[in-house]
Amino acid sequence: QVQLQESGPGLVKPSETLSLTCAVSGYSISSGYYWGWIRQPPGKGLEWIGSIYHSGSTYYNPSLKSRVTISVDTSKNQFSLKLSSVTAADTAVYYCARLDVEMARPFDYWGQGTLVTVSS
Amino acid sequence: DIQMTQSPSSLSASVGDRVTITCRASQSISSYLNWYQQKPGKAPKLLIYAASSLQSGVPSRFSGSGSGTDFTLTISSLQPEDFATYYCQQSYSTPPEITFGQGTRLEIK
C-alpha cells in the first residue's frame, strides 16, 4: 500500500521560505510516476503547485513558478517543496500526492495534508 | 492555460436522489479528466479517472462521462456518506500542467 506523509514547519514568517518534505512508503520513487504538491487555502479549492518526475524533471504552476522548487531524494524515498517569499496568501493545507503516468494522469495516492500558516 | 468550470457550485439533495455535476474545460482535453471527492478535514479521494473509469474500490453508483470539453459526474442514488465536495481535474498537456475545477459542494436537503 502506497503511503505519503508530509512534514515541515506549521508556521512560517512572511518573506521567508516554506519548506516541506513528503516521505513515501510502499513504493520506490525511483521506479517511476510523477510526484506532486497541491495546496488548499482554508475554505477554498485545490491548486496544483507542481510535479516532479522520478528522473528529476520538474513542472510548475505558471502562477507560482518564480517562487517554487521541487526536488527528489531517491535515497531517502522522499520529495520536497520550497516556496520562497511567502505571504499570508500562501496559508493553506499542503498535500503531496502521486500522479499516475497513465492517460488522464490522476492523483491516485495522497498524503493527509499539513497546514502551513504564514504569519509573523 | 486550461480553465475548468464546474456547475453548480453547490447542490442540495436527498438520500436516494440521482445527482449530476458538470465540468467544462476551456479547450478540448480529450478524456484527460478526473473526479475527486473531498470530505471536511480529509485529503481528496480519486473516484473517476480518464473521464469514465471507476477507481478501484469506489462504489458503482458513481459514474463519469464526456470527452472534449464537457464532462459529467453522476451519483445514481445518493447515500449519506456521499455528502462532500467534488472536484474535477485536467492534466491534458505534456508535460502535465494541472488545473482543478472550483468544486461542487453537495449538501443534505
The conformation of residue B48, written as its DSSP 8-state character, comes to E
Q: Which residue did the predictor score with more confidence, A118 or A56?
A: A118
B21 CA to chain A: closest CA distance, Å? 16
| DSSP secondary structure letters along A73-93 | ETTTTEEEEEE-S--GGG-EE
> Could you tell me which chain B residue has the CA closest to the CA of A45?
B102
pLDDT digits (tens, 9 = 90+) for A1-36: 999 999 999 999 999 999 999 999 999 999 989 999
CA torsion A35-A41-A45-A48 (nearest 10°) is -20
Subunit contact B44:A47, Cβ cutoff 8 A: no
Q: Would you give the distance in Å from CA B70 to the centre of its chain?
A: 12
pLDDT digits (tens, 9 = 90+) for A90-110: 999 999 999 988 778 899 999
For residue B45, the surrounding DSSP H or E stretch is strand B45-49
Is the confidence at residue A78, as pLDDT, over 90? yes
A35, A51 in Cβ contact below 8 A? yes
Task: Find, among A80, A88, A97, A75, the residue nearest to A28 by Cα.
Answer: A75
Strand pairing report for B19-25 and A34-40: unpaired
- What band does A41 get if pLDDT is binned at 50, 70 and 90? very high
